[in-house]
Amino acid sequence: KYCIDHADPSAVMGAYNRVNGEPCCGSKTLLQDILYGEFGFKGYVVSDCGAIRDFHTGHKVTATEPESVALAVNNGCQLNCGDAYLSLYEAYEMDLITEETITAAVEKLFEARFRLGMFDDDCEYDKIPYDVVECKKHTALNRKMAQECTVLLKNNGILPLSKDIKTIAVI
């Protein structure tokens, strides 16, 4: 609530876990009632990567991907980190979600893109060359941030990374 009130974020990322039996990225309680309702959040919600698919593969709160997608979007998770939202049309065809709900989600996402200037002819972000993005100053700051934070990961065979990898983009 403090962040919503004082930082006015454009986006909030949901989590993988469940709270009181509801997966966070599809939780009516967390998203509709608290985040958008009580806190008055105006931005969009993005899922943690793979979290929507996890509704039916891990949490077993839904049986299929279209059900998982509908649960997420119907409750206010507009953007999916992953590819589960490819099943959005199927969810619509199954009457699990309305066109109006999909339209409202897309409008919220496009609002953010317009605010960023992504449709302007002179979008400032398009003018930043890659050698600036990965300059020594930014690389040093990234290293400092990585050294000063703690990251908890479940090692599912990805770690340790190969020593042959020279560059990693964290998006």
Q: Please give the structure tokens belonging to residue 89.
A: 């049309």
Catalytic residue, candidates 5, 33, 48, 54: 48
Query: Which alpha helices (H) appear in the chain, and where do they start and end?
Result: 2-7, 51-57, 65-74, 88-93, 99-115, 130-133, 136-148
Task: Identify whether 120 is a catalytic site residue.
Answer: no
Three-state SS at 46: strand
Three-state SS at 22: strand
Q: Is 7 exposed, middle or buried (0-12, 13-18, 19+ CB in 10 A)?
A: exposed
Cα distances (angstroms) measured from residue 30 to each of 19, 77, 105, 136, 149: 8, 11, 17, 40, 26
d(CA 68, CA 90): 11
d(CA 157, CA 92): 36
Active site residues: 48
